């Protein structure tokens, strides 16, 4: 299932000292913990999310790597995350 909502799942705050990748990581981890993202739900590709937020793709990939390492998301290659 692809998340489709009127409110963005991830927002970043440029006024804080917290790195962008940690903000993304925290927002997605909280969404999983709160049940907003359930097993089988898809999150945006790193490229799409980076474009939406105006960030470098590597920043989003770093956040996704942390989430995958902790078991919050599972990358499935071409099928998505």
What pLDDT digit, counting tens, does each position of 23-60 carry? Answer: 999 999 999 999 999 988 999 999 999 999 999 999 99
DSSP assignment string, the chain? -B---SS-S----TTSSS-HHHHHHHHHHHHHHTTSS-TT-B---HHHHHHHHT--HHHHHHHHHHHHHTTS----GGG--
pLDDT of residue 50: 95
pLDDT of residue 2: 45
pTM: 0.82
Decide if 31 is inside a domain.
yes
> In total, how many domains does the chain have?
1
Decide if 7 is inside a domain.
no
Domain with 37 in it: 20-76
Q: List pLDDT tens digits, range 56-74.
A: 999 999 999 999 999 999 8
């Amino acid at each position: 299932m692809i998340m489709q909502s009127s409110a963005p799942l991830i927002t970043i705050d440029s006024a804080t000292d917290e790195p962008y990748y940690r903000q993304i990581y925290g927002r997605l981890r909280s969404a999983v913990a709160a049940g907003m993202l359930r097993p089988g739900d898809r999150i945006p590709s790193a490229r799409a999310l980076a474009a939406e937020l105006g960030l470098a793709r590597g920043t989003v990939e770093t956040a996704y790597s942390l989430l995958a390492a902790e078991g919050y998301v599972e990358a499935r290659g071409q099928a998505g995350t």
